[in-house]
Each structure stands twice: as structure tokens, then as C-alpha cells.
Amino acid sequence: MENQYAFSADERAAVYHSIFSRRDVRGQFLPDAVPDEVLARILMAAHHAPSVGFMQPWNFLLVREPQVKAQVHGLFAQAHDEAALMFAEEKRETYRRLKLEGILEAPINLCITCDRSRSGPVVIGRTHIKTMDLYSSVCAVQNLWLAARAEGLGVGWVSIFDQPALQAVLGMPAEIVPIAYLCIGYVSHFYDKPELETAGWLPRLPLADLIYYDQWGQADTQGRESLTQEVRTVQTALQTQGIAPR
């Protein structure tokens, strides 16, 4: 059945290529400046994310000054040391060797926030699940990330911070929630697979094992094997086309 709203094959391939080749970039940033027109495009993509009740709860706080970056990096370093002690001893040294940020190297740091009061106390779609505004801001992060990948930009999400300390360094009101602190810039290369997968920290889980039917934990009991097989077929096809990593 032909679908008049579907993208062309080349357009679809571009969307999936951006999804499958997106990486959390830490150590490959180049010092090259990001042109304002490119930055404007990826911010526009973020601003067009879906949001609960169309409340658009996000703001975009750009950080370029070296002294501010240095303060943020200091917060990360302290939290990173604290986090290492939370892991089992056999993983602790591996954790300490991982490069988990590019705060000083990336030409642009960006904090995407959530203003939970933006549309007042009652918001369509947030009446029963109060965290939907937070999830909306996360959608803005993903939009920006995929657009950045299409522009050839790397993005790294740094989440190892004491949140009130980050708010203080950025002069942020206590009621504004920092959702994502991102490092953005051109890169020397993108890895074929996520770094944590390559480092053996965790493997990618098979999609077929994560699909349930009608009830939590219920595997295929009604002849839906075709979907499981199709998942595997799609993965192989995308790998053959060089769109998805092997």
C-alpha cells in the first residue's frame, strides 16, 4: 500500500543514518568554531520537539566563556570522583579510565533546561503524570542531537554533576531544572559503536528480547513470530546498507 505521507527512500535512509550513527562524544572534539547558522538550525530542531500541552518548557543556555567552562569542569571532576566509589571494586578502575566529558575541549557547551511553571499549574497531558514536562525537554535534547549528527557535529551529554551546584555556577534559579549539559563541536571522527559498548562496559541488548505482547513480560503466544523475525531482518538489512552498526 502506497503511503502519500512517507518520505522517499533516500530521505528515510538519511533519518535512520542519523539515528544509528549518533554517538555520545567525549574525546574527539576539534577546536573549530561552529558557525551561528549551523547552531541556529540545531536549536530550531530542538525547539520543534514535542511537548506536553504544547508548553515548550525548555530554555537553551549557551556556555562559551573559558572561565565558566572551567567552573563546570570542576563540578564534574568532584562528582566523578564521588561516583567512582559507588561502583563495585572490579569496575571502579575501568570507570576511572573512561573519558566521560568534553567540557573544556568542545567549543560550545549547552544546558537545556525545563521551566516547570511555564504554562501554569494545570497543563493538558500533565494532570496525572507530573513529569511529562521533564520528558518533553528530553525530547528537545534528542531532536538537537540527531540534527547535530546530520550537520557533522558531535554531542556529549554530561550528567555527572551535583545539580544545585551546577545551577549556582550557571546563575540558574532553583526552580529551573537543568535537564542536559551538552558538549557540542566538530569532531575528528565518530566511533562505529558507542564507546561504552566498545569498552565492554555493557552490550547492546537484542531488540527482540525487549518486546512484550499485551501484558508485561508476555512473549509471543499468538503467532506473532513474524515481528520478531522482521526485527532481525531489518537489522541485517540496515547493516548491509551501512546504515546501522554491526
- pLDDT by residue (tens digit) across 128-169? 999 999 999 999 999 999 999 999 999 999 999 999 999 999
Question: What is the rounded CA–CA span in Å between residue 238 and residue 16?
Answer: 9
Measured over the CA atoms of residue 34, residue 199, residue 178 and residue 140, the dihedral's sign is positive
Beta bridge partners of 109: 63, 183
Q: Check if the beta carbon of residue 133 is closer than 8 Å to that of residue 177.
A: no
The pLDDT value given to residue 112: 98
Q: Check if the beta carbon of residue 145 is closer than 8 Å to that of residue 84.
A: no
The pLDDT value given to residue 241: 77
Measured over the CA atoms of residue 184, residue 185, residue 190 and residue 191, the dihedral's sign is negative
Least confident of 15-19, 130-134, 165-169, 236-240: 236-240
Average pLDDT of the chain?
93
Least confident of 42-46, 93-97, 139-143, 171-175: 93-97
CA distances from 57 to 79, 100, 131, 140, 183 (A): 27, 27, 12, 10, 21
Closest CA to 194 of 116, 99, 130, 75: 99
Closest CA to 26 of 203, 144, 159, 213: 159
Strands 108-115 and 60-63: antiparallel
Residue 1 has pLDDT above 80, yes or no: no
* pLDDT class of 218 with cuts at 50, 70, 90: confident
AA letter at 225? E
The pLDDT value given to residue 244: 72
> Residues 9, 13, 17, CA angle at the centre, nearest 5°?
175
Strands 153-158 and 176-186: antiparallel
* pLDDT class of 22 with cuts at 50, 70, 90: very high
DSSP states of 157-178: EE--S-HHHHHHHTT--TTEEE
* pLDDT class of 240 with cuts at 50, 70, 90: confident
Measured in residues, the chain has a length of 246
Least confident of 66-75, 90-99, 166-175: 90-99
Where are any strands of DSSP class E within 3-130? 60-63, 108-115
Q: Check if the beta carbon of residue 155 is closer than 8 Å to that of residue 144.
A: yes
Percentage of the chain beyond pLDDT 90 is 75
